[in-house]
């Protein structure tokens, strides 16, 4: 575990020393349909990988339960906001909000249905149906997000914003001057 933390810290220090890359323009959308469903589906891959890693790490006997819990939390956050990030990237903030709502409500609804199905179970016997309902709800929410919200019934917002930045100088006295930048975005 110490080697992993050291590697992460060294990587972040090295990354800071390098110049930042220019920001890429949003990807081109298929003009015929405006669909970006494949990108939404691909946004789920990191959350699936994090969840599998968290479960696998949690099942080991090395006492790395905290790392497993952190991976599972990261999987949940990635699941909840990954689709919204893709919608925002394509200029659809309303769809992004609906995506977060779907991905939050559907697993909870599935867990509730699982709990109803397990009402005759006692103790920890209800965990299985609740977890199954949660997973099914997450898959349904994700499927609705991809199928309904990633479609091409409307064109993405194509407004362009051109930032303007100009240097400014101001004489503040007989022997002083200030320099700065002003901009409009």
Greater model confidence, 149 or 183: 149
Q: What residues does each domain of the chain span?
A: 33-158
Greater model confidence, 8 or 110: 110
Q: Give CA–CA dist 88/76, Å, rounded.
A: 19
User: Under a CB-based contact definition with an 8 Å cutoff, are residues 162 and 183 in contact?
Assistant: no
* Closest by CA position to 95, among listed 33, 70, 103, 105: 103
Greater model confidence, 156 or 54: 54
Find the range with the poorest average confidence among 64-68, 69-73, 103-107, 170-174: 170-174
Average pLDDT over residues 105-125: 86
Q: At what angle do helices 127-144 and 93-117 cross, to 10 degrees?
A: 150
Report the predicted TM-score, pTM, of the whole model to 2 decimal places. 0.62
Q: Express each pLDDT in 22-39 by its tens digit.
A: 655 555 554 445 689 999
Q: Give CA–CA dist 175/181, Å, rounded.
A: 21
């Amino acid at each position: 575990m110490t080697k992993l933390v050291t590697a992460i810290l060294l990587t972040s220090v090295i990354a800071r020393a390098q110049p930042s890359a220019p920001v890429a323009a949003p990807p081109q959308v298929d003009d015929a349909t405006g669909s970006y469903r494949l990108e939404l589906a691909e946004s789920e891959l990191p959350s699936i990988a994090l969840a599998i890693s968290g479960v696998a790490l949690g099942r080991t006997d090395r006492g790395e339960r905290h790392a497993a819990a952190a991976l599972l939390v990261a999987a949940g956050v990635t699941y909840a906001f990954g689709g919204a990030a893709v919608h925002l990237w394509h200029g659809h903030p309303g769809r992004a909000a609906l995506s977060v709502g779907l991905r939050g409500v559907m697993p909870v609804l599935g867990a509730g249905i699982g709990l109803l199905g397990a009402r005759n179970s006692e103790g920890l016997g209800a965990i299985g149906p609740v977890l199954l309902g949660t997973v099914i709800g997450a898959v349904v929410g994700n499927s609705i997000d991809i199928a309904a919200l990633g479609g091409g019934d409307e064109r993405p917002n194509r407004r362009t914003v051109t930032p303007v930045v100009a240097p400014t100088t101001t004489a503040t006295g007989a022997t002083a001057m200030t320099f700065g930048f002003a901009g409009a975005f």
